[in-house]
Amino acid sequence: MLSKEELIDLLIIDVDAFNREVKALKGAVDFSETDFSGLSLSGAEFFNLDLTSSTFADSNLTEVKFEGCDLTSVDFTRANLVECSFVESVLNGTDFSYSTVDYGNFSDSDLAGAIFQGANLTNSDFSASENLNACRFDEETIWPDNEYLPEDFDTTYSSDLSSLQDDEDYEHSDY
Protein backbone atom coordinates (compact mmCIF):
# COMPACT_ATOMS: atom_id res chain seq x y z
CA MET A 1 0.00 0.00 0.00
CA LEU A 2 1.31 3.44 -0.94
CA SER A 3 1.78 6.09 1.72
CA LYS A 4 -0.20 9.34 1.69
CA GLU A 5 2.87 11.19 0.36
CA GLU A 6 3.40 8.62 -2.41
CA LEU A 7 -0.26 8.94 -3.44
CA ILE A 8 0.08 12.73 -3.63
CA ASP A 9 3.20 12.37 -5.79
CA LEU A 10 1.29 9.93 -8.01
CA LEU A 11 -1.60 12.42 -8.29
CA ILE A 12 0.81 15.05 -9.61
CA ILE A 13 2.64 12.85 -12.13
CA ASP A 14 -0.01 10.27 -13.23
CA VAL A 15 -3.67 11.00 -12.48
CA ASP A 16 -4.89 7.73 -14.01
CA ALA A 17 -2.57 5.66 -11.81
CA PHE A 18 -3.68 7.73 -8.79
CA ASN A 19 -7.34 7.04 -9.62
CA ARG A 20 -6.66 3.27 -9.88
CA GLU A 21 -4.80 3.22 -6.54
CA VAL A 22 -7.47 5.23 -4.69
CA LYS A 23 -10.26 3.07 -6.14
CA ALA A 24 -8.43 -0.10 -5.03
CA LEU A 25 -8.07 1.29 -1.50
CA LYS A 26 -11.89 1.81 -1.31
CA GLY A 27 -11.77 5.06 0.66
CA ALA A 28 -9.19 3.83 3.17
CA VAL A 29 -6.99 6.88 2.53
CA ASP A 30 -6.97 9.84 4.91
CA PHE A 31 -6.13 13.04 3.03
CA SER A 32 -7.21 15.33 5.89
CA GLU A 33 -5.05 18.44 6.39
CA THR A 34 -3.26 17.88 3.06
CA ASP A 35 -1.87 20.80 1.07
CA PHE A 36 -2.95 20.54 -2.58
CA SER A 37 -2.71 24.32 -3.09
CA GLY A 38 -1.60 25.64 -6.45
CA LEU A 39 -2.04 22.31 -8.27
CA SER A 40 -3.42 21.94 -11.77
CA LEU A 41 -5.43 18.71 -11.91
CA SER A 42 -7.64 17.22 -14.56
CA GLY A 43 -9.71 14.05 -14.19
CA ALA A 44 -8.73 13.18 -10.61
CA GLU A 45 -11.25 11.03 -8.71
CA PHE A 46 -11.59 11.47 -4.97
CA PHE A 47 -14.33 8.96 -4.04
CA ASN A 48 -15.49 8.55 -0.42
CA LEU A 49 -12.33 10.14 1.01
CA ASP A 50 -11.68 12.26 4.08
CA LEU A 51 -10.23 15.58 2.90
CA THR A 52 -11.17 17.49 6.06
CA SER A 53 -9.22 20.75 6.52
CA SER A 54 -7.20 20.26 3.32
CA THR A 55 -6.44 23.11 0.95
CA PHE A 56 -6.88 23.46 -2.80
CA ALA A 57 -6.37 27.24 -2.65
CA ASP A 58 -5.21 28.80 -5.93
CA SER A 59 -5.63 25.47 -7.78
CA ASN A 60 -6.94 24.83 -11.28
CA LEU A 61 -9.21 21.78 -11.22
CA THR A 62 -10.95 20.41 -14.31
CA GLU A 63 -13.37 17.47 -14.23
CA VAL A 64 -12.27 16.52 -10.71
CA LYS A 65 -14.73 14.32 -8.82
CA PHE A 66 -15.14 14.80 -5.07
CA GLU A 67 -18.00 12.32 -4.69
CA GLY A 68 -19.11 11.06 -1.28
CA CYS A 69 -16.21 12.93 0.34
CA ASP A 70 -15.90 14.73 3.66
CA LEU A 71 -14.80 18.20 2.57
CA THR A 72 -15.47 19.86 5.92
CA SER A 73 -13.45 23.08 6.23
CA VAL A 74 -11.60 22.53 2.95
CA ASP A 75 -10.06 25.68 1.45
CA PHE A 76 -10.90 26.30 -2.23
CA THR A 77 -10.22 30.06 -2.06
CA ARG A 78 -9.21 31.64 -5.37
CA ALA A 79 -9.42 28.23 -7.08
CA ASN A 80 -10.67 27.75 -10.63
CA LEU A 81 -12.98 24.70 -10.76
CA VAL A 82 -14.45 23.63 -14.10
CA GLU A 83 -16.95 20.75 -14.38
CA CYS A 84 -16.13 19.44 -10.90
CA SER A 85 -18.51 17.15 -9.03
CA PHE A 86 -19.31 17.38 -5.32
CA VAL A 87 -22.15 14.82 -5.39
CA GLU A 88 -23.13 13.44 -1.96
CA SER A 89 -20.25 15.26 -0.24
CA VAL A 90 -20.20 17.12 3.07
CA LEU A 91 -19.07 20.73 2.52
CA ASN A 92 -19.68 22.14 6.01
CA GLY A 93 -17.53 25.24 6.41
CA THR A 94 -15.87 24.69 3.04
CA ASP A 95 -14.47 27.99 1.73
CA PHE A 96 -15.01 28.87 -1.95
CA SER A 97 -14.30 32.59 -1.44
CA TYR A 98 -13.15 34.38 -4.61
CA SER A 99 -13.15 31.12 -6.56
CA THR A 100 -14.74 30.37 -9.91
CA VAL A 101 -16.90 27.24 -9.98
CA ASP A 102 -18.15 26.76 -13.54
CA TYR A 103 -20.52 23.85 -14.26
CA GLY A 104 -20.06 22.37 -10.75
CA ASN A 105 -22.47 19.63 -9.63
CA PHE A 106 -23.56 19.91 -5.98
CA SER A 107 -26.35 17.28 -6.04
CA ASP A 108 -27.12 15.82 -2.60
CA SER A 109 -24.20 17.75 -1.07
CA ASP A 110 -24.52 19.34 2.39
CA LEU A 111 -23.56 23.02 2.18
CA ALA A 112 -24.28 24.12 5.77
CA GLY A 113 -21.72 26.79 6.64
CA ALA A 114 -20.09 26.81 3.19
CA ILE A 115 -18.58 30.18 2.28
CA PHE A 116 -19.14 31.66 -1.20
CA GLN A 117 -18.03 35.27 -0.64
CA GLY A 118 -16.98 36.86 -3.93
CA ALA A 119 -17.35 33.52 -5.75
CA ASN A 120 -18.44 33.15 -9.36
CA LEU A 121 -20.78 30.13 -9.47
CA THR A 122 -21.98 30.55 -13.06
CA ASN A 123 -23.69 27.47 -14.53
CA SER A 124 -23.18 25.37 -11.37
CA ASP A 125 -26.08 23.17 -10.24
CA PHE A 126 -27.21 23.59 -6.64
CA SER A 127 -30.85 22.58 -7.32
CA ALA A 128 -30.60 19.26 -5.42
CA SER A 129 -28.16 20.46 -2.74
CA GLU A 130 -28.97 20.53 0.96
CA ASN A 131 -28.67 23.43 3.44
CA LEU A 132 -27.72 26.08 0.88
CA ASN A 133 -29.75 28.50 3.01
CA ALA A 134 -27.11 28.01 5.74
CA CYS A 135 -24.20 29.18 3.56
CA ARG A 136 -22.44 32.55 3.69
CA PHE A 137 -22.12 34.85 0.69
CA ASP A 138 -21.99 38.54 -0.12
CA GLU A 139 -23.15 40.99 -2.75
CA GLU A 140 -20.12 40.06 -4.90
CA THR A 141 -21.22 36.40 -5.21
CA ILE A 142 -22.41 35.51 -8.72
CA TRP A 143 -25.09 32.80 -8.57
CA PRO A 144 -26.30 30.60 -11.44
CA ASP A 145 -29.79 31.07 -12.91
CA ASN A 146 -32.69 30.23 -10.57
CA GLU A 147 -33.32 26.91 -12.30
CA TYR A 148 -30.00 25.70 -10.82
CA LEU A 149 -30.86 26.78 -7.27
CA PRO A 150 -33.20 25.26 -4.65
CA GLU A 151 -36.69 26.78 -4.87
CA ASP A 152 -36.50 28.28 -1.37
CA PHE A 153 -33.05 29.89 -1.79
CA ASP A 154 -32.78 33.69 -1.89
CA THR A 155 -29.68 35.05 -3.65
CA THR A 156 -30.31 38.55 -2.31
CA TYR A 157 -27.51 39.42 0.09
CA SER A 158 -28.49 40.92 3.41
CA SER A 159 -26.35 41.59 6.46
CA ASP A 160 -27.23 39.46 9.45
CA LEU A 161 -25.69 38.29 12.70
CA SER A 162 -23.53 35.70 10.93
CA SER A 163 -21.56 38.50 9.26
CA LEU A 164 -20.55 39.81 12.69
CA GLN A 165 -20.23 43.37 11.45
CA ASP A 166 -20.10 46.34 13.75
CA ASP A 167 -22.98 48.71 13.22
CA GLU A 168 -21.45 51.99 12.12
CA ASP A 169 -24.60 53.83 13.09
CA TYR A 170 -24.45 52.61 16.67
CA GLU A 171 -24.83 55.38 19.17
CA HIS A 172 -24.06 55.04 22.84
CA SER A 173 -27.12 54.86 25.03
CA ASP A 174 -27.48 55.34 28.78
CA TYR A 175 -29.91 52.42 28.96
Give pLDDT tens digits for 17-28.
999 999 998 878
CATH match for 31-149 among 2.160.20.80, 3.40.630.30, 3.40.50.1820, 1.20.1740.10? 2.160.20.80
Let me know: does 12 contact 35? Beta carbons within 8 Å: no
Query: What does the chain come to in residues?
Result: 175
Residue 167: per-residue pLDDT: 47
- Looking at per-residue pLDDT, the higher value among 83 and 154 belongs to 83
| Closest C-alpha among 81, 76, 36, 30 to residue 60 | 81
Residue 86 above 70 pLDDT?
yes
The residue-averaged pLDDT of 152-161 equals 73
Question: pLDDT by residue (tens digit) across 105-151?
Answer: 999 999 999 999 999 999 999 999 999 999 999 999 999 999 999 98
Is the pLDDT score of 174 beyond 60? Answer: no
User: Per mean pLDDT, which range of 10-19, 30-39, 99-108, 164-173 is the poorest?
Assistant: 164-173
CA dist 156 and 97 (Å) reads: 17
Q: How far apart are the first and last CA of the chain?
A: 67
Cα torsion through 138, 50, 67, 104, rounded to 10: 20
Residues pairing with 81 in the sheet? 61, 101
Per domain, the residue ranges of the chain are: 31-149
Residue 160 is predicted with a pLDDT of 52
- Across the chain, mean pLDDT equals 90
